[in-house]
Amino acid sequence: MAGRYAHGSSDSIEMQVITTPSTDLALTNLAYCSHWDLRRFDLNRSGYALVSFRDSIVLTNVKVSVDDPIHVTRFVPPEDFNLALLTVDLDFVKAKGKSEEIDAVQLSQQLRKRCLYQVMTVGQRVLFEYHGTNYIFTVNQAVIEGQEESETFERGMISPETYIVFECSPNTGIKIVNQREAANSKIFKQKDFNLLSLGIGGLSAEFTDIFRRAFASRVFPAHVTNKLGIKHVKGMLLYGPPGTGKTLMARQIGKMLNGREPKIVNGPEVLSKFVGETEKNVRDLFADAENDQRTRGDQSDLHVIIFDEIDAICKSRGSTRDGTGVHDSIVNQLLTKIDGVESLNNVLLIGMTNRKDLLDEALLRPGRLEVQVEISLPDENGRLQILQIHTNKMKENSFLAPDVSLQELAARTKNYSGAELEGVVKSAVSFALNRQISLDDLTKPLHEENIKVTMDDFLNALHEITPAFGASTDNLERCRLNGMADCGGRHKHIYKRAMLLVEQVKVSKGSPLVTCLLEGPGGSGKTAMAATIGLDSDFAYVKIISAETMIGLSEASKCAQIVKVFEDAYKSQLSIIILDDIERLLEYVPIGPRFSNLISQTLMVLLKRLPPKGKNVLVIGTTSEVGFLESLGICDAFSVTYHVPTLHTEDAKKVLAALNVFSEDDIDAAAEALNNMPIKKLYMLVEMAAQGEKGGNSEAIYSGREKININHFFDCLGDIVSVYR
């Protein structure tokens, strides 16, 4: 990195080269001058004056002789000039003819202390003394803080946070030990992890757990872990819903470890149609690590192997019936390599899956994939970080409109995964770009400066991209097509009690699972009330399980679908599950009677199974056959049961008044006739009567221009009363 002159070339000072007063001074990487000359320069924090000569800051590289005149110029370093990483070639000043072992951690500490705030340039050769022996190192790489290692820099200043990595050719006779620990310290000894710069949002707590379990022991030198008598963690499993950042975190972990380039393989890629080829593919993944450990022992680099979709190849042994036994052989081969007789200590296997339940249990014990971290759906703060990551470039380039509130978007996007949030940003950008395109004339020039992604674009994107683990709003709205009418005090009382259960689930730490059964005659509004409770709860996950979505499925398939809804609910912090028409789910018929015992037992288990720690679930069931459920013992599985009644005369009058379809003189008579009528039947009867004797008047009636003829209403009531009473 080129420096800048303080006052231009006129600021240069002519000096003369003389011999060093002491040989010890020649090993300090400094040039010395009189106090009078030194006062003409600005001193840095260590009392050094930085000067440049022939556009070089390194005076030890200057080939001059005694009494030669030189012109030096004061050098003022830029703001971002501290070195994050310095890679050097190490050698003896004079060959000793024997090998020597040097601890990289201790040597880097000594050099950092001696050369603090000195400027190092690529190609520079520095003499120094260490434990009575003179060495020389040549700078190979200089990485500035906040920059990528792949970028090329000429120079930088050593700071207390600079980490030095040593390299040496085999013929030097120098053996570097604990080199991996010194290199890893570049990452792990930072004050904090800037996960946002790595593109990881909302996973700081998970990353802290991973670091403590898997990497803390790798920061210390090998002799420390040997004294503790422990082995490094060899494997970890990242599991959770799709799109939550498992693969992203694994890739970044592989990069941060500063070991070998991580091997990334998708589970299905390992499979082969040839006999024994699949097992060979697994062995090949570990071949480099085996050779490295065989030749270098404890000083071997860390080899990271990342298995994406590991459930594709590591299913429970004996669970597949393909007759080949390939999956069992893969699991056996993998277990042998991780924790067999000749187990490797220089390997970190990272597996990722969203189906942890499919994995062989032997793979999950300590010594194998022992660190198991759930990468769950991000909370509000995590969603804000993810949105900031994906909109950062927009903001930097002034494409983000001032009205965009990422905080509000984070609050609106409950149960969105990281991938779905990225989809929201892409969708919002597509709306903004579409405004600049004329479909009538695609050759019309586009103006980049007019592109602005507004808050409305993001709100439209939220309707377009819906979370896989979100509330089934459309299905819930279909359950109450007529809204939630005022049906009197009895229905209102049940609604208030149910909402108290919602609050209990939100705040209570002792009731992670609350269950409620709504029972009553068919059509009394049980499903509509359950749907209203789900919508008004504002919970992130609300799903309804009904028999209509399972038509034609076998009992086992129905059980699998029911279990999946509960498993998905456990991935959200607050969830509501509605079991609609439980008797229909159980395939109950009164003749016989006949029902599915398999589904019955599944529901009994799920209604009593506590969700994982930190997850709260409210289960609402509806039934018109409470006596049948009592005989099965299912009613006892619910914490509380509420009876949803039919309408009394006063209740029916309130509903009719809200509909405003009868005249004042007729509303009392109509309400009296509707006594003990379920509300669903009331709406159907009103719809029939609104058609008029000749039909076609319903629009005028619902708009208030006309009223239902009471006599025609009684005729319709007479047609159906025998059916519903």
Residues annotated catalytic, as ranges: 526-527, 580-581, 608, 680
Question: Is the Cβ–Cβ distance between 649 and 672 less than 8 Å?
Answer: yes
Cα–Cα dist 157/80, whole Å: 9
Neighbours of 181 (CB within 10 A): 22
* Cα→Cα distances 278→258, 328, 344, 353, Å: 29, 11, 20, 20
**What is the rounded CA–CA span in Å between residue 664 and residue 505?**
44
CA dihedral 420, 425, 428, 433 (to 10 degrees): -130
| Residues in contact with 625: Cβ distance below 8 Å, sequence separation at least 6, in sequence order | 583, 588
Nearest-angstrom CA–CA distance, 618 and 569:
10
Under a CB-based contact definition with an 8 Å cutoff, are residues 125 and 59 in contact? Answer: no
Beta bridge partners of 622: 518
CA dist 462 → 426, 431, 540 (Å): 11, 12, 14
Say which residues have a Cβ less than 8 Å from residue 301's Cβ, sequence separation at least 6.
180, 259, 260, 292, 346
Distance CA 547, CA 583 (A): 9
Q: Which long-range contacts (CB under 8 A, 24 or more apart) does 126-135 make?
A: 126/29, 126/60, 127/26, 127/27, 127/29, 127/60, 127/93, 128/27, 128/29, 129/27, 130/102, 133/92, 133/96, 133/100, 134/27, 134/92, 134/93, 134/94, 135/90, 135/91, 135/92, 135/93
Burial class (CB in 10 A: 0-12, 13-18, 19+), 655: buried
Say if CB 32 and CB 51 are below 8 A apart: no
Residue 650: enclosing H or E segment and its boundaries? helix 649-659
For 192, which DSSP code?
Answer: S
Spell out the residues 6+ positions from residue 132 whose beta carbon is closer than 8 angstroms to its own: none
Q: Name the H helices within 436-488.
A: 455-464, 473-478
DSSP class of 215: I
In which element (H, E) is residue 253 found?
helix 246-256
The two structure tokens encoding residue 224: 């420390």
Question: Whose CA is closest to 505, among 611, 621, 602?
Answer: 611
What's the token pair of residue 435? Answer: 């405004």
Tell how far CA 2 is from the center of its chain. 40
For the four alpha carbons of 212, 213, 218 and 223, in that order, the dihedral sign comes to positive
Using CA atoms, how far apart are residues 242 and 219, in angstroms rounded to an integer? Answer: 31
DSSP bridge partners of 545: 579
Tell me the CB-side half-sphere exposure of residue 145, using CA atoms within 13 A. Answer: 16
Q: Tell me the C-alpha to C-alpha distance, in Å, between residue 354 and each of 244, 382, 422, 723.
A: 10, 20, 19, 51
Kindly report whether the peptide bond that precedes residue 268 is cis, defined as omega within 30 degrees of 0: no
| Token pair belonging to 271 | 């499979």
Residue with tokens 């459309």: 474
Cα 242 to chain centroid distance, Å, stands at 9
